[in-house]
Structure 1
């Protein structure tokens, strides 16, 4: 059995800072009661409406209805199907989330939703991430689809506007989840998100892919528009929407096609339409339909232009396999659209097969990078494929002045000092005293600018989001602990409220191990009667605590004299509560009804 830390240590270095170790002691007795209520109710709601794998998957992935899952127990189940789980504190950048998924690692938010947000939490929590996402991984086809989604998602080009929207969503979610937040704080955060979305009016590749993720992984249905089951994690973890989505008059059901990317979504409200996939194979087909059009699979000038428009760090790959990572600022093309020169601005990295090349990191290329792309005149193959001896036959040798004439008309003249090779390929030519000119005579590189490292390649075959070697060129930081979701450690009653929850929990656990005769004995009934009076005397306004005790009282066949006051108090709190509280209490009462 691997420990949490051993699993974290097995991850790529740049992912490790985002993974945390679950401290199970941080979950309060009320957290456990919230989990138990939600999971039992979800099971009731979903027993007929969820895809048949769901209930089986809960058990096989180590998720109990009775208590918040321990990450070790989840990994015991996931390991059998080649996956792992790690916990994270709060929010993870979308590209990092996708890379975890590509590594067959399920990211589990460590926080438990608060009592105030039982029906819906705006922040990632362990209910959504574990009970929503984990169960269907036992389906091999779905697990492969999820992994492939991660592979494409981590390579999607995200724009600066996407990051601003993400930051605004994260800020709003954290504020909304904090019961101490003021109406003014929530309003300001909502306004900031609205402004960020309005400013980001041209969806990037990553934004379009996130829509497909939303309408499948998060809010997907499987079957046909007339006969469907739920499999999306957002629906599976929502008490309200898992029921409301079944109303075909209020929620349209549309067949899933790649056109779903044209449908934006709003995370703050229930969805007005949902998409139905036929099966996992269909999911994969739609995903690949989108993936074929992604820049990572197309390359070329148009892909570089998308990277320029994004104003974020992206990577262009030459046909030689050399990876140029930076914020692209310009691309020159010939009359038929072939890339002939690319430029970046700011820190830039040259890498090969995901590893930064020696002396070619962001410390070397602080201000930016530029290089010609294409074949040389009088040379039939890409410059990368020539041996050292073949290069000498063309007048290209170290410690000599070399002139390279590209078919595009670009010329490179300078003293060749070094050739960096990998796998029998030339990847970088390093020049001193070098001048690079365009066909029109414009200076693209001047000797006064220092050493010229020329990346080798006849074409740009791929462009993808992020840097090639994120260990050496990290793009994302881990949120500070103060930015994580607010989790109250104090019950506001000197610990008495949590003590009540714990006493009831201890009694239930002991009772579950007892025979029926012991379960309903006089001593047990007397204890419940005593707790009922103590709870009523304390006048706690905590409906879930009254429900927990009423559930135990009914299980132990307590008298009406014990059960009725608890039921009366629940109905009183139902009348006095907001819409969410009234719904939750009704869910509980319906479940306790004969």
Structure 2
């Protein structure tokens, strides 16, 4: 999104707006409770323990849509992050600047009953339930700040679309090792009832060990379940790799490397699961 766009009416220069928490209707709070109950019942055993810890220490199990001021107060005590409301998608530079300063931007609207399983633009349930619990984990909180700082630098290299793949395949759709098991941590998965099961249990997708350059060569799907998921060993290792990588030569190398399709498997991959891709083929036939 262009950084030349002015903030919409009612928004501050950094595109933030008041949450207006008191204006949520009983129906809107009820939708949050419905989504929360459904996800919190099926995630134990599937999601990274750090996510469940975040739900607990941030007291997100309380009924109704969270108040950002109260949530930020608890989060600040843990890792120095806060949650700020925005009117929707924001320009890239604005988004990165907020992350770089440990502010997580969240939409304030919530989906309607007819959108319960899919909506195009992230709502407050995706943004807050999906993303915020892991911001209570020190290493992941630092990774998110580092990503924001790296995003600001990427604008000078014309490499935003490459860096966006790192966010997509980690923050949104990442898997993590937990002993001998795989667990969910990406917000796009943990806030989705269907993909929470699909990502771990379906035979369709590839599950591939994390490799930074390989991941940043890989295209992704925005309107269906992923064809490949990348698996990290730990949040600490993800942070270390990000902090130790000089992205300038990496971007140059990526310019000389061909993009990979979402379902690709290449010789250097550590393949944990070679998917059948049955789901993607079935969707193509529809």
Structure 2 SS opposite 1:143: helix
1:146-167: CA deviations, max 9, x gaps?
A: 11111001221279xxxxxxxx
Of 217, 221, 227 in structure 2, the residue corresponding to residue 262 of structure 1 is 217
Structure 1 gap segments, 5+ residues each: 1-13, 160-203, 307-594
Q: Map 1:334-349; keep pairs closer than 5 Å.
A: none
Q: Map 1:56-75; keep pairs closer than 5 Å.
A: 56-75=53-72
Compared CA separation, residues 231 and 273, structure 1 to 2 (3 A): same
1:478-528: CA deviations, max 9, x gaps?
A: xxxxxxxxxxxxxxxxxxxxxxxxxxxxxxxxxxxxxxxxxxxxxxxxxxx
User: Match for residue 98 of structure 2?
Assistant: 100
| Aligned residues of 1:62 and 1:69 also touching (Cα < 8 A) | no
Compared CA separation, residues 222 and 129, structure 1 to 2 (3 A): same
State the 4+ residue runs in structure 1 displaced beyond 4 angstroms: none
| Aligned residues of 1:87 and 1:109 also touching (Cα < 8 A) | yes
Distance 2:224 2:125 in 1: 19
Deviation at 1:224, TM superposition (A): 7.0
Structure 2 gap segments, 5+ residues each: 1-10, 256-286
Of 193, 198, 201 in structure 2, the residue corresponding to residue 239 of structure 1 is 193
Distance 2:12 2:162 in 1: 24
Compared CA separation, residues 224 and 25, structure 1 to 2 (3 A): closer
Distance 1:264 1:44 in 2: 32
Distance 2:106 2:70 in 1: 13
User: Match for residue 282 of structure 1?
Assistant: 237
Compared CA separation, residues 224 and 58, structure 1 to 2 (3 A): closer
Structure 2 SS opposite 1:222: strand
RCO (CA 8 Å, sep 6+): is it higher in 1 or 2?
Answer: 2
Distance 1:215 1:60 in 2: 26
1:38 aligns with 2:35: yes
Deviation at 1:97, TM superposition (A): 1.1
Q: TM-score, structure 1 length as denominator?
A: 0.39
Q: CA RMSD in A?
A: 2.5
User: Match for residue 273 of structure 1?
Assistant: 228
Q: Map 1:45-124; keep pairs closer than 5 Å.
A: 45-80=42-77, 81-124=79-122
| Aligned residues of 1:27 and 1:112 also touching (Cα < 8 A) | no
1:220 aligns with 2:144: no
Of 15, 23, 27 in structure 1, the residue corresponding to residue 20 of structure 2 is 23
Q: TM-score, structure 2 length as denominator?
A: 0.78
Deviation at 1:15, TM superposition (A): 7.2
- What is the aligned length? 242
User: Match for residue 446 of structure 1?
Assistant: none
Compared CA separation, residues 15 and 28, structure 1 to 2 (3 A): closer
